[in-house]
Structure 1
Amino acid sequence: MKIFKWFLGLLVLAGLVLGFILWTLPADVAYRHFADKLGPVSLVGIRGTVWNGHADGISVFGRDLGELDWRVEKWPLLTQGIRADLRIRGADIDTSGLLERDYSGVMRANDVRFRVPASLFAGAVDVPSLKLLGQVSGTLTQVQLKDGLVAMANGHARWSDAGVSGAAEARFSDILAEFATRPDSSMAGTLADDGKGNLEVNGSFSASATGFQAEAFLSARNDDARVQEALRYIGEAQPDGSAHLVISGQLFKLL
């Protein structure tokens, strides 16, 4: 009986020690053991714990995004779940939101706010001499990932200080986008200008695991000469002086 009590006591002590180690596990130690499971994500300058920490640098597919801060709640782990607040801040990137993963492996993100340079989307336009100016900001109200694919998402975005430079340069009014998933899990949205500038935009777009497609009609409001000149290098010219822009491609080209 005494042997059994000693053995039980050792098990309790081992559990307490293991729990303490996990409770205070340094983030850099955990990263060394699990870095190979993060795929294209790489971290440097890690400090803090796995529950509350900071990385001086985070990169995805070799692209430097800035600094990463995280705070992970401990109690959801009791039901094999994860709940974490994340924030990435860089010179021209700022994004934050709440990430959750339940016991079944389904991941959800709520109220993800982002701000990125418009140049990040240059690969989609596929006009080598054209540079996109300004910032794109917005909110992903809800995102759900299942088996690595987007099962549900909705939100909105605004292209502020919008403009292009290259063979011609012009500044536009802000461009607005609204988007949401469809029953087949693909995403669809609309594009429009805010009506305050000299570029009129009417368009739509869709995206799925196989790629994205977008179509828009662009025209110069108030017969703005600089906008008309810029539209000569964008899309297909129309008889009324507008431009019909159609683009498609793979989402990974945006990374």
Structure 2
Amino acid sequence: MKLLRSLFLLLLVLVLIGVVVAWTLPADLALRWLKPNLGPLQLSGVSGTVWQGRASSAVAFGTPLGALDWSVQKSPLLLRRVVARVGLGGGALVLDGDVTRDADGSVLVQNTTFALPAEIAAPALDIPALKLHGRIEGRIDEARLANGWVSGARGSARWREAAVSGQAEASLGELLADFASQPDGSIAGTVKDDGSSNLEVAGQFVISSGQFSATARLVARNGDMQVAEALRYVGEPQPDGSSLLKISGQLFKLF
């Protein structure tokens, strides 16, 4: 009995030590174990603990993103779920939201806001004659990443103080977009202007299997000559004076 009691006490002490180590595990040590599973994400300048920490530099697909902060809940781990609040700032991309990794390996993103300079979207729009100005802000209400693809996505975005310069200059007001997953697994959305500028925009886009395509009809309101001049470099001129913009490409072309 004395031996059994000693073994029990030893086991209890080891469990307590394990709990303390896990509770205070340095983030940089955990990163060494997790690094093979981070894919294109690279972190440096890591401090804090695995539960609440910070990386002074985050890079994805070779693009610097800024500093990454995280806070992980402990109790969901008992159900093999990782629930965290993640924030990204100090760089071109600003992001803040909730991320959950379920036991099946899928990742759920919820209540996430983001903001980035419009010029980052220039490679996707592929209009070399014009430089994009303003800032794109948006919200992802929900999106699940599983088996390399996104499902159940819902969200919206707004291009604030939209403008172009280069071979033509024009103020475009604010452009609005909404998107949601479709029954066939694609993500579809609409784009329109808010009516505050002399550019009328009406379009739609689809993202499917890592590819995106979009079409939009652009019209200069109120005979605005600056906007009409800018539209000469955007899309295909139409008989009614509008311009039809068609773009397509790979989703990760943005990176």
TM-score by length of 2: 0.96
1:103 Cα deviation after fit: 2.0
SS in 1 for 2:173: coil
Aligned equivalent of 1:227? 227
1:121 Cα deviation after fit: 1.1
Aligned equivalent of 1:23? 23
The one-letter amino acid paired with 1:60 is A
* Distance across 2 between alignment mates of 1:32 and 1:160: 40
Aligned equivalent of 2:246? 246
* Distance across 1 between alignment mates of 2:7 and 2:211: 59
SS in 2 for 1:172: strand
SS in 1 for 2:192: strand
Superposition pairs of residues 92-241 of structure 1, within 5 angstroms: 92-241=92-241
Aligned equivalent of 1:6? 6
**What is the aligned-residue identity percentage?**
47
Compute the RMSD of aligned alpha carbons: 1.2
Aligned equivalent of 2:53? 53
* Distance across 2 between alignment mates of 1:42 and 1:112: 21
* Distance across 1 between alignment mates of 2:106 and 2:92: 30
The one-letter amino acid paired with 2:251 is L
Could you list the per-position Cα deviations for residues 215-242 of structure 1 after superposition, in whole angstroms to 9, with x for gaps in the alignment? 0000111111111111001100111221
* Distance across 2 between alignment mates of 1:252 and 1:70: 25
Any conservation in 1 of the 2:129–2:233 contact (CA below 8 Å)?
no
Any conservation in 1 of the 2:69–2:86 contact (CA below 8 Å)?
yes
Could you list the per-position Cα deviations for residues 57-87 of structure 1 after superposition, in whole angstroms to 9, with x for gaps in the alignment? 1111111111111100000001100110001
1:11 Cα deviation after fit: 1.8
1:177 Cα deviation after fit: 0.3
The one-letter amino acid paired with 1:79 is L
Any conservation in 1 of the 2:170–2:227 contact (CA below 8 Å)?
yes
1:189 Cα deviation after fit: 0.5
- Counting matched residue pairs gives 255
The one-letter amino acid paired with 1:221 is R
The one-letter amino acid paired with 1:59 is V
The one-letter amino acid paired with 1:104 is D
Aligned equivalent of 2:80? 80
* Distance across 1 between alignment mates of 2:129 and 2:44: 34
Could you list the per-position Cα deviations for residues 179-222 of structure 1 after superposition, in whole angstroms to 9, with x for gaps in the alignment? 10001121001110000101100000010223001000001111
Aligned equivalent of 1:37? 37
* Distance across 1 between alignment mates of 2:30 and 2:92: 29
1:175 Cα deviation after fit: 0.4
SS in 1 for 2:183: coil
Compared CA separation, residues 43 and 152, structure 1 to 2 (3 A): same
* Distance across 2 between alignment mates of 1:113 and 1:173: 21
SS in 2 for 1:7: helix
* Distance across 2 between alignment mates of 1:162 and 1:152: 29
Aligned equivalent of 1:69? 69
| 5+ residue gaps, structure 2 | none
* Distance across 2 between alignment mates of 1:9 and 1:232: 80
